[in-house]
Structure 1
Amino acid sequence: MIDLIYRKMCPGCGGEIESSRLAKGLLCKRCLPNEDANPCKVKSNFSKVCKLKEQVKAFEEHFKKTIGFSLRELQRAWAKRFFLGHSFAMLAPTGIGKSTFGLSLASFLLPKKSYLIFPTNLLVEQAYSKLQAMGYEPLIYSSSFS
């Protein structure tokens, strides 16, 4: 098969790269001469991708340890957005794991503080119970306290 050459598409340097290397998730020949080498060891713009992968993997392990389940694809996408520093809303049907994701992420980020806002008192109580079950003593405020 004949390789296509893409200009300004190398994830490492922004230079030219062959379609076969892009398909394999590699950098261009200039950035990564040896296809068997680890692209994360190369100093380039690609290091941001490697750092993101490491952060998401660490969070996935924490999630599995604290919750007992693996991340769903949607939750993994939320994690990537979070670690990239993007502002986003978690829009998904009931039962997908929005609250569980938020609680696990808050526990992952300790000792940093997290503010979690829930639309109902029932969700506040459930979140409080889940965090206590994980071994944390959260500070909560509910409108039912007034």
Structure 2
Amino acid sequence: MRTVTPTVGSRRPTLELRSTEEGRPTTVLLTRNQAASSSNGDEEDTLQRLLRPVASLQACSDEQTWLNVEAEERHRKAEEEELCHQLTAVKATVEKLGGAVAPLLTPSTQVFWAQPFSEEIDETVIPLNFREVVIKPFDRTQDPHIHLQAFQT
């Protein structure tokens, strides 16, 4: 029993010819040139008929690849134009302000944005007799009441 399957792989259309010889399946891959040089006329017609859709699929695949490249190029150009428009708008805004641009925020100033302290708290002087309380974190190995007593002293 023989079955013939057209496949497209690695840019070369091939025919996969499967047959069962001596009880075990064998697979033979034929290229278009090999199919054209077939010695049997009926097999040659069959192979040529099967190669036509493979060639058609290959042509469609090539066309799709070309269209994808074109689409990517158009997308890249559109992004570039959009960035040019944005840059032009920023330059126009700077010119309207007379060239005076607000100072850019530096990373060092951005760090303090989320700080809950006001300048008043920051400027408060710490008393000389201030003693920082250092307490080990509660590790759940002792009574919590004993741990809380450390805060009362």
Q: Give yes or no for TM over 0.5.
A: no
Structure whose residues are more often helix by fraction: 2
Task: Name the structure where strand makes up a greater proportion of residues.
Answer: 2
TM-score (norm 1): 0.26
Larger CA Rg, structure 1 vs 2: 2
